[in-house]
Structures are given as C-alpha cells and as structure tokens.
Amino acid sequence: MSDFKFDTKEKFNVITSNFADLSDNTADELIAVASNLLKGTVKNVIIKCNTIQTISENAAFKLQQLYVLFLENNASLVFCEIQSEVRLKLEALDISEMLNITPTESEAWDIVQMEEIERDLLKED
C-alpha cells in the first residue's frame, strides 16, 4: 500500500498521508514525492496531515527544508489538518511559524491561490 494518496487540481496537488508517524524515513519519502512535483506543470502542493499523530525532530526540520525548497522554486507548500501533538512539536522546535499551516484543506487552497496571485503581480513589476 502506498504511503500517500494524490489528488491533482488545476493549481495544486494534494498529498494525503496514510501513516501515523512521520519518522525520518517517511519524511524522506514525502520530500522525494513532493520535490518531484516541482518538476511538473502544477508545482504547488498541499500536504494533508490528518493521519499523522507523531513526528520526529529530524522529520520536522526536513519539512522546514522542503518548505524553503518550494519557496526557492516559486511554488507554494501548505500543510493542513495537522494534529495537536504534531503541532506542539513544531511549536516547541520553533518551526511552526516558518511554515504555511492551515486548519483545513479549504483554507490551504485559499493560501495557494493568494500566493499564485502574489507571484503573478510580482512578475508584472
């Protein structure tokens, strides 16, 4: 069984996890999958974290690096539906403020669309 489910929309891809623990290994898999999407025509990614109950410290820092990679490639990366234990870990590591995190997938869509508009406006300048 795949650890991820994909849903491709017009402006973004949604990756849904099928695991409870975001360990170093699963973080590496997630990073490989998300990074690969940067090569496509739809680069923006929403990672739905509703099944993830725990995260390793290393995995948390890897998510931060992934977020920076997306910024460097003029693409959006939003994490949604993060569970409380994971959120607390990200906050304790001072990472949560550096990521785009939304309570719902719908709000993540809004962030992606706002960032797309912002990038389009910056191109025009």
The helix (run of H) or strand (run of E) holding residue 26 is helix 24-37
Encoded tokens for 84: 């409380």
The confidence band for 123, taking pLDDT boundaries of 50, 70 and 90, is confident
Give pLDDT tens digits for 20-53: 999 999 999 999 999 999 999 999 999 999 999 9
Nearest CA-CA partner of 6 in 35, 41, 46: 46
Q: Which CATH code is given to the segment(s) 4-124?
A: 3.30.750.24
Cα separation, 22 vs 119, whole angstroms: 31
Q: What are the boundaries of each domain within the chain? A: 4-124
- 8 A C-beta contact, residue 100 and residue 111: yes
Predicted TM-score (pTM) of the model is 0.94
Contact 14, 48 (CB under 8 A): yes
Kindly give, in sequence order, each residue whose CB lies less than 8 Å from that of residue 111, ignoring residues fewer than 6 positions away.
76, 78, 100, 102
